Homo-oligomer: A and B are copies of this chain.
């Protein structure tokens, strides 16, 4: 690759498992000039990832890879890691599975030498994933958790960290226990909640669903996730997830009891304000706790209007931090909810209104 910046990666990288994560890693690393070889239990999935440009099949006379990345579903990850440690005797081996403790325990129980293994987890992905949704920038700016331990040699840690850095990840060091607690809360619990809530709709009357709005849609969006994959993820983290679910179940019951008991409005208000407090603790898009100011601009629902607005924002040198287009169902108008930094919001509002935009 001409005009290439020097890559942090020495030697080739071998990726086992060519789903969304494996293929995206392959694409991203190849963009940086790294030699990537691929393997997958499914010849179809492998061929797809190769066609997609994520890497090439490994040949028998290929030299040993410097790093092996295991990107398989949780059920098979321990087996595949064990196999990789045996087959590639000089490589640092990592995995990118969404749970860290269960695979580690399984590997430890086999009495294997795990010196060359360090688990990791890039916080990136989408509801459904295969190689055709792969993208080179899936990991950019997202936390990439590394679970080193006291036995991890510097060269192993460094090789795996360099993979994360090369594809744009932000390193975050955690113990496997801490990682699994964290994802149990911020990823696995919301998944179960969204699925269970959406499950209540499965038998609802269609005319009741006509009244649905944006609140229901947002709350249930991730219920579209791949059930087969999530059975594995949730099962592998059950020791941490079950207590979260029990706490949630308990709070739902408290809510129901507070509603049943007249005069316990204080209890209902307490549960709702706890939710207010919790939602404000979620970091914004830049991984910090800063909150943006949202300007809601009225736009016509036809080609060119939003472009016109955004082009004016460009003229005004206003950088949007986020944008959400909200439609009234069936309407010919919409609302562009633009998030901007607090310090520029008043000027942006003023300038847009000067140019005739209606801000609500």
Residues of A that sit less than 8 Å from B by CB: 123-124, 133-135, 137-143, 145, 168, 170, 172, 174, 178, 181-183, 185-187, 189-202, 204-213, 215-225, 227-228, 230-231, 234-235, 238, 241-242, 244-249, 251-253, 255-256, 259-260, 265, 268-269, 271-287, 298, 301-304, 306-314, 317-325, 327-333, 360
Q: Do residues A219 and B190 form an inter-chain contact, with CB atoms below 8 A?
A: yes
Complex Cα gap A193–B219 (Å): 8
Q: Which B residues lie within 8 Å of A271 (CB)?
A: 195-196, 199
Docked-complex contact A221 and B218, CB < 8 angstroms? yes
Q: Name the prevailing secondary structure of the A interface residues.
A: helix
Please give the count of copies of this chain that the complex contains.
Answer: 2
What 8 pairs across the A-B complex have the smallest Cβ distances?
A195-B275, A141-B330, A307-B310, A304-B314, A201-B278, A198-B278, A141-B331, A182-B208
A281 touches B235 (CB 8 A): no
Residues of chain B with a CB closer than 8 A to A141's CB:
328-331
A360 x B191 contact (CB < 8 A):
no
Which residue of B has the minimal Cβ distance to A219?
Answer: B190
Contacts of A280 in B (CB 8 A): 224
Residues of B within 8 A of A272 (CB): 195, 225, 227, 230-231
